[in-house]
Amino acid sequence: MNSPAQLRVGLIGCGNIGARGHAPSYDHIAEAELVAVCDVIYDRAARLAEQTGAQAYQDYRHLLDREDIDVLDLCVPTAQHAPLAVEALKAGKHVLCEKPIARTLAEADAIIAAVRETGRKAMIGHVRRFDRRYLEVKDAVQRGDIGTPAYIRRAERQWLPFAADAWYWHTDAGGGVIIDIGVHIADMFRWLYEQSPVSVYAVGRQVRDVAKQANSFDHVFITYRFANGGVGLGEASWAHPPEFGGGFYASLDVVGSHGRVQYSDQDSNPMIEFDAKTGAKLPQFFRFMSTTEFAFRDEIQHFLDCVVKDQDPAISLEDARSALAMVLAAQQSADSGKPVSLRLD
Amino acid sequence: MGIVNGTVDFAVVSYAHLHTPRYAASIVAHPHARLVAITGDGMNASVARAEAAKYGVPFYDSYRDLRPELNLQAAYLGSETHVHRELLAWAANSGIDVICDKPLATNLDDARAMVEIARQAGIRLMVPFNPRFQLPLIRVAKAIHEGEAGDLVSIYAVKYGRLPTKAQGPQSAEWFLDPDRAGGGGFLDIGIHAVDALRWLAGAEVRRVYAHIGTAIHPDLRVDDLGTVTLEFDNGVVGVISAGWANPDTAPTWLEVRFEVLTTRKTYLIKSPYHDLAIFSARDATRRPWLRKDVDGLVDDFVRAILERRSPALTAEDAYAALAIVLAAYESARQGQVIELE
């Protein structure tokens, strides 16, 4: 049967993740159609509309008003997640929202309450959980290949190209490397341990001039201790040299009672490329240095499946709230220089 | 390296430590060193006796049997850690310079006393920390200390070995698992190398220590097998170390050592301390170094320090500082708090 799309989607936020990560995914998802794209910078919406055939908007309220839109995909700065998500849910839309869930725990609770109230579905895009390399690691751990995990080390490192006034640098906008990148690490630890942490200790540094201008850490080491005694060491950095990212961005090492799983972009890369000017380089095979486009596609597909089949998404809002609580505590630890206790679940 | 004249006569004291055969071989091979005696103090006396026969040098049951007529100038001390203080006292009395394998002692009281004994006797006391003589780290240290790399920001170091009792060969390593004789477990045994490497690269002293250390992998051990520590140096450098007996039997190397260094100009990812190659046998797959300059480098520096009448690259104070940091990490892990060092 050549059925028409079952779900119509509006995308709010046509920046990096929205335009380059999410929007192209809809081309590959049979049961969804991207019908509207919106950005406060109208040109960005217009450009994306031209590429996708969706209609461009500058004011998100037009998307709330459109009754034919079932799902809103929110790729806006973190501080706008909760206000937009709550409004969208109350307008009867299902919501897929970028990580972290919100800027504060109270805002996260507002989203959770709005879902209960409206019966709509919402999921936070913790995209690492849909990334095939990390799914392989998760599978290996779940199969018992390495026994019980006892120590996990995760690093996500690059050179952030944005100027000091970009929201990414500012914790009050939900930015800063601890919150923006750390939340991926926090969620990965909880996902692999299937536990919540009881304490966190973080040491941050302002390395680059841009970080000093923004008065924001760009290089941080975060240690979580979990209820079962497991330890997670996360390193999040925007302070590496500009060429560092692509072939070197991520590494993950899970030490278990009976073995280890190791992943690193560097070791995993199948080729080296030589160039007379730049010398040897590890080529980047995916649009983003941190995520494959397949992961975004699988994440969106999963959420839309949950909407169609009326099932609970694999990542609960409580999971996303816990990840936020973990990074807020890490930020507090880095700011105060002291370990911070956590009581989650 | 300048030209030196003379020869340093060494005794190798005790084959309790798994490193002893490597030091004996390095001393024998050194053009300005001579191995003149081997003793069988502590564990593995039969191995000591066999090595003495192999090298054609006299064997003695104990260091107490080493007579002044031997005119020893130096000794390598490879005993169980808790015996180090007694052996050092003998060396100091005899005016003998020592390489004492790590850690210096099982506790800071002994360590402090040993530094003082060595100072008063005017003998050299070197605890050999291999990273100082590993080629990739020498390269990074040079770039940092000579300014090419800008300022050092952070170092993350991984040092994982297998459980020492899984070592092949005739030596027993059972005492490594005894807290009274070893002073600690995998974190102390392996992590102390990384602690010294970070002090060296940072060119500064540690002020704040936060750690988790536990028996994570081998539940029956009486000592820890895995730890992670965050160190803050007085010049702002951050050091993070994961260390212990975490390497599975199936890992292609006995040791896994990585250093990841961020400076204001460069990133260095060191994936191994050694140049190596892969051997796939019918039994297993291993990576073996074809170049290991570190033990020879340590012995060479020590021999030249004696002949040139200078301090070795690693001093008694370095040995004490590294142990103090590791023991502070254990204290932090016990308390769940940051430990501040003077």
Predicted ipTM? 0.92
Min distance A119 CA to chain B CA atoms (Å): 43
Task: Find the residue in B nearest to A232 (Cα).
Answer: B228
* pLDDT, position B2: 58
* pLDDT, position A2: 43
Name the pTM for this structure: 0.95
Quick check: B235 contacting A, CB < 8 Å? no
Burial code (b: 16+ CB inside 10 Å, e: under 16) for A105-139 equals: eebbebbbebbeebebbbbbbbbbbbbeebeebbe
Q: In the predicted model, what is the mean pLDDT of residues A219-229?
A: 96
Task: Find the residue in B nearest to A237 (Cα).
Answer: B262
Interface of B with A in 268-297 (CB under 8 A): 269
Q: Is the pLDDT of residue A244 over 90?
A: no
What are residue A315's phi and psi, to 5 degrees? Answer: -105, 115
As a whole number, the mean pLDDT across chain B is 96
CB A52 within 8 A of CB A8: no
CB A77 within 8 A of CB A14: no
Min distance A253 CA to chain B CA atoms (Å): 11
Min distance B243 CA to chain A CA atoms (Å): 11
- % of chain A residues with pLDDT over 70: 98
Optimal mutation site among B212, B269, B331, interface A, most CBs of chain A within 10 A: B212
Write out pLDDT tens, residues B70-94: 999 999 999 999 999 999 999 999 9
Between β-strands A250-256 and A149-157, what pairing exists: parallel, antiparallel or unpaired?
antiparallel
Q: Do the chains contact at B217 and A221, CB–CB below 8 Å?
A: no
What are residue B326's phi and psi, to 5 degrees? Answer: -60, -45
Burial code (b: 16+ CB inside 10 Å, e: under 16) for A21-58 equals: bbbbbbeebeebbbbbbbbeeeebbbbbbeebebbbbe
Interface of A with B in 46-75 (CB under 8 A): none
Quick check: A221 contacting B, CB < 8 Å? yes
Quick check: A233 contacting B, CB < 8 Å? yes
Closest by Cα among B45, B36, B37, B38 to B16: B45
* pLDDT, position A3: 54
Residue-wise DSSP of A97-133: EESSS-SSHHHHHHHHHHHHHH---EEEE-GGGG-HH
Min distance B267 CA to chain A CA atoms (Å): 7
* pLDDT, position A245: 80
Q: Do the chains contact at A205 and B154, CB–CB below 8 Å?
A: yes
